[in-house]
Amino acid sequence: MKRLAALAGAAAAAVIALTVSACSGPAAATGGEQEATELRYQGSANNVTLPELAQDLGFLGGLKLTWVGNTTSGPQDIQSAATGQTDFGGAFTGAVVKLVEAGAPVKAVVNYYGEDEKTFNGFYVKDDSPIHTARDLIGRKVAVNTLGAHSEAVIDTWLEKNGLSPEEIKQVQLVVLPPNDTEEAVRRGQVDVGVLGGVLQDNAIAGGGLRSLFSDYGLFGAFAGGQYVFRTDFIAKNPDTVRTFTTGVAKAIEWERTTPREQVIARFTQIIEKRNRGESTKNLKYFKSVGVPHAGVIADADFSRWDSWLKEAGIVTGPVTPSKYYTNDFNQLAAASPSPKG
């Protein structure tokens, strides 16, 4: 599919870069040496990531996180991990598969985001839009935050399930826009549909004049959407470090799930204020749920869910083999969690 050309090039670049980049730096351990005690990562402005929460709650023990900047997208984040610019990164499941299939030696260790009845991505149109069905999207423009990621996979799957052929799906034009600009682009008619989630979704709904066409939660129900990955060589050299990180993230997920919402928001606020990056905390009040099921335990269904899309996109040629992309071996909460169904 033409839409995935950008991601294909980026994935290939990541693999090429991996062959010439050294896996050295503060986090790399060599045979016989002490395991890594520091992990470099990219954050998210005005937000608290699960690893950051885990560190603040003491779930990472003596393991230190070193922030090197903010990520621009999930594919970019895991490419940074693959090339050794960071030590871990997170992205949509399909982007993880894409990177692995392109030859990058990375492995997913824990789910880190997902959708449920409270936290989901919706596809919105203007109230008076003539778009009411999937077929109405042929020839229309849909705003997404990046190509080859969650929103593209969701909309293509929705179109396919509603009877559109691959050729008809290609006629739905995806337009990359920053999430902060999506609502206004829909209202001005620059695009016909926009993907909104979180506080942006809440603000848009509160402003009136928009209606939901469909949502990823409505399409799949509750599901995990993406994973944190490490390079396989890093895992081999630092298994205890990866175990500490993965289990710490899993504990942070369960803490968010079981702690009263007001306390979660208060903790997020403290973390953002303490790190002193000139960020705003005003949007934290819109926090609803962690969205990640089962302590971040990864299931085969998290990958096979996208089987049709991955084939149509040319990312895989045969049936998806989930075990190729992930392991739960480093999540110590996996054994205590219900077996995830997807």
Give residue 130's domain range: 121-220
Where residue 217 falls among pLDDT bands split at 50, 70, 90? very high
CA dist 201 and 228 (Å) reads 25
Inside any domain, residue 341: no
Is residue 13 domain-shared with residue 30, that is, in the same domain? yes
Structure tokens at 114: 């997902």
pLDDT at 102: 94
Is residue 236 domain-shared with residue 307, that is, in the same domain? yes
pLDDT at 33: 75
Is residue 265 domain-shared with residue 181, that is, in the same domain? no
Q: Which of 173, 200, 220 is the last residue of a domain?
A: 220
Is residue 190 domain-shared with residue 94, that is, in the same domain? no
Is residue 6 domain-shared with residue 109, that is, in the same domain? yes
Encode pLDDT of 60-84 as tens digits.
Answer: 999 999 999 998 889 999 999 999 9
C-beta separation of 87 from 36 below 8 A: yes
CA dist 154 and 213 (Å) reads 13
CA dist 173 and 137 (Å) reads 9
- Total domains in the chain come to 2
pLDDT at 20: 38
- CATH assignment at residue 235: 3.40.190.10
Mean pLDDT of the 47-60 span: 97
How far, CA to CA in Å, does 241 sit from each of 36, 248, 301, 336? 6, 10, 27, 21
Is residue 106 domain-shared with residue 230, that is, in the same domain? yes
Is residue 92 domain-shared with residue 233, that is, in the same domain? yes
Where residue 340 falls among pLDDT bands split at 50, 70, 90? low
Encode pLDDT of 112-128 as tens digits.
Answer: 999 999 999 999 999 99
Is residue 6 domain-shared with residue 108, that is, in the same domain? yes
pLDDT at 199: 84
Closest CA to 73 of 151, 137, 174, 126: 151
Q: Which of 175, 199, 220 is the last residue of a domain?
A: 220
Is residue 108 domain-shared with residue 32, that is, in the same domain? yes
Is residue 152 domain-shared with residue 128, that is, in the same domain? yes
Encode pLDDT of 289-333 as tens digits.
Answer: 999 989 999 999 999 999 999 998 899 998 899 999 999 999 999
